[in-house]
Structure 1
Amino acid sequence: MNSSSPAAAPPVRAPRHAPVAHLVRGGVVEGVHYGSVVVLGADGEVRLALGDPEAAFYPRSALKPLQAVALVRAGLPLDGELLSLAAASHSGEDRHLAGTRRILERAGLTEDHLRNVPDLPFDPAVRDAWVRAGRPASRLAQNCSGKHAAMLVTCRVNGWSLDDYLDPAHPLQRAVAETVEDLTGQRVARVTVDGCGAPLFSVSLHGLARAAARITTAAPGTPEARVADAVRAHAEMASGAGRDVAALMRAVPGLLAKDGFEGVQVAALPDGRAVAVKIADGANRARVPVAAAALAHAGVDPTALTAFAGEPVLGGGVPVGGVRPVPALDPAVRLAPAAVREEARTA
């Protein structure tokens, strides 16, 4: 763990978001997505900051790699695909459900011990098949079940109580909070309840990026490195088939990436370069191209990111535009001739 004490908690305020992407149709900006972005260099210094990356916010599921590190530090005996599942927002595929059962079986537990909210599978196709089969919502199918199963196993390893493992005062959740503060380098600003029922800790976007860099640069064999290795090697177990975050990790060697509800994305490279994105309106259509542009700004080869330029805007079934990162983020604009840059700036 970091021997230095965490800095003060980030300020709780209405975030001062800025435009980060334009919705362009036929050469006209039809809409604007606001948000915040931070890009860190390998030395940990801020290379780009848009919006308000220092304000307190909730990382949602982008916090899961940090939670997984906390569990491993507390003795969670998992590696490989099951540790990846412990950090997952999974799609509810058969492998995710089977993997969650395997985690529970490690401690002689069953689905009945889970305290996450029952839900249908996250992936639309998997969910539709589930409904057609007449299957009800379940705790196992809910996208955070791997994390909850791993939390229960960690409690069993330490002799901690199981029924109240989601209480912020429980030893498990105190250990998670301590790890979040250690990795982000700042105190938690607020604690609330995430959609799955687990405690959710508010940090800054800058702190989240710093934590991701801490995880990817950790020494081999450490809890941080074990989590990073597991998620990168088993990206679909941490997400699902066809998910953009898994495709991004496959496209960029060594990248650790995690998405979160409400337009959150964090990603870090093995040398410590890291990015974090928050889209104010929670739109995935902006999250993906903005995160890709931030990675290009961090030095990732833009040709590796072309598949993440975002979905096209259609007119009559034909592409007539798309979601475009603002010029400050767009490497194509930054490298373009002056006349092109001016055209983009005034668009």
Structure 2
Amino acid sequence: MTPSAAASAGLAQCAGAELPQHVPLVSASRGEMLESIHYGSAVLLDPQGEVITALGDQQARFYPRSALKPLFAVAILRSGLELSQEQIALAAASHSGAPRHQEVAHSTLRDAGLELAELGNSTDLPYGVAERASWLADGGSATQLAQNCSGKHAALLAMCKHNGWATENYLAASHPLAAALREIVEELTEERITTISTDGCGTQVYPMTLAALARGFAKLAKAAPDTAEGRVAASMRAYPELVAGEGRDVTELMRAVPGAVAKDGFEGIQAVGLPDGSSLAVKISDGSDRARMPITVKLLASHLGDQTPTALEDLASSPALGGGEPVGELTAL
């Protein structure tokens, strides 16, 4: 067995399954040379949920990571908890940690009569580059409120308080919250959860196929406005700067495409739902954040055709720099 074959066999054994059959999705050039290739898988569904485009492995399951947050937000609203649109958008967010983001998360706690100390998410510096620099310049340190998932955790705590559930152990697998979230995710994605792990911030995360993730976002984007799904979608559309942050590609995508509901996730995940019920989901094999948007934009443009907004083109590629000047490009294949 060759070294590469042995490595593949070892990885497959470690994962307990065959390696996903990813395909080349995005290339990076420098000068006249192709410098790097990002492999991955993606799916584009029509308004009826039928596959329009399938790239790579459609049977493999991947962790959606933070792309689960909008689905969790549906569970939060269905519990009967009342939140403002800003608080809903932040519950679905991986925010940049700007003062406004932190204040909205804090307001969710205050409105529920909860304290900052009750947050169970991990501590971190602000996720946004500019926000982190400003935070550090002001003497800030890693906190739970600054961490990009604080809006979700504040809303989950408020959901527990509303339902009369304990808040001390709200992240435990045996807590009623865990079952409530799983039930909604299975309903929206139309796929049974077969195994569970833990995300970076401490909440549960479940693997699913890309089609399942896309279906979930389609249901958000096309939902009636008086439903929990519709309220989540409306809040994300109204406040895309809370779902991510200024200068972040997810915020810019929602601003560029009318009615789009979009969310990224760590390790190269992107999901988008459109108001007509079409949707897509992307997984970049190596987890690279830079490769998400080029293939996402290509799929969106292939579906929207002449209706593709000009502003979306700005997200389709990014330059490779040499000495501060563009010398190559990151583009979808």
Query: Shared fold by TM > 0.5?
Result: yes
**TM-superposed deviation, 1:320:** 2.5
- String of CA shifts for 1:98-152, please: whole Å, max 9, x gaps: 1111100111111101000111111122212222322221111110000000001
Whether 2:288 is the aligned partner of 1:288: answer no
- String of CA shifts for 1:317-339, please: whole Å, max 9, x gaps: 3323211211xxxxxxxxxxxxx
Q: Distance in 1 between matches of 2:164 and 2:17?
A: 36
Tell me the residue number matched to 1:120: 125
Give the TM-score, by structure 2 length.
0.91
Whether 2:329 is the aligned partner of 1:308: answer no
Q: Distance in 2 between matches of 1:309 and 1:216?
A: 22
Tell me the residue number matched to 1:325: 332
Whether 2:62 is the aligned partner of 1:57: answer yes
Whether 2:84 is the aligned partner of 1:83: answer no
Structure 2 unaligned regions, length at least 5: 1-15
SS at match of 1:203: coil
**TM-superposed deviation, 1:12:** 5.7
C-alpha change, 1:60 and 1:32, in structure 2 (3 Å) is same
Tell me the residue number matched to 1:181: 186
Tell me the residue number matched to 1:274: 279
- String of CA shifts for 1:39-82, please: whole Å, max 9, x gaps: 01112110001011331110011111111111111122113111
Q: Distance in 1 between matches of 2:234 and 2:17?
A: 34
Q: Distance in 1 between matches of 2:324 and 2:127?
A: 27
1:153 aligned to which of 144, 154, 158: 158
Whether 2:222 is the aligned partner of 1:225: answer no
Tell me the residue number matched to 1:130: 135
C-alpha change, 1:199 and 1:148, in structure 2 (3 Å) is same
1:199 aligned to which of 204, 213, 221: 204
Higher mean C-alpha displacement, 302-311 vs 115-124: 302-311
**TM-superposed deviation, 1:286:** 1.1
Q: RMSD in angstroms over aligned alpha carbons? A: 1.5
One-letter amino acid of the structure 1 residue matched with residue 295 of structure 2: V
C-alpha change, 1:12 and 1:206, in structure 2 (3 Å) is farther
One-letter amino acid of the structure 2 residue matched with residue 303 of structure 1: T
Tell me the residue number matched to 1:340: none
- 8 A Cα contact 2:256 2:312, kept in partner: yes
Whether 2:27 is the aligned partner of 1:22: answer yes
Q: Distance in 2 between matches of 1:185 and 1:16?
A: 23
Q: Distance in 2 between matches of 1:12 and 1:197?
A: 25
Structure 1 unaligned regions, length at least 5: 1-10, 327-347
Whether 2:250 is the aligned partner of 1:245: answer yes
Runs of 4+ in 1 over 3 A off after TM superposition: none
- 8 A Cα contact 1:259 1:265, kept in partner: yes
- 8 A Cα contact 1:90 1:143, kept in partner: yes
Give the TM-score, by structure 1 length.
0.88
| Mapping for residues 87-102 of structure 1, pairs under 5 Å | 87-102=92-107
**TM-superposed deviation, 1:204:** 1.1
C-alpha change, 1:133 and 1:304, in structure 2 (3 Å) is closer
**TM-superposed deviation, 1:33:** 0.5
Whether 2:216 is the aligned partner of 1:211: answer yes
Aligned length: 316
Tell me the residue number matched to 2:45: 40
- Considering fraction of residues, name the structure with more helix: 2
Tell me the residue number matched to 1:341: none
- 8 A Cα contact 1:290 1:325, kept in partner: yes
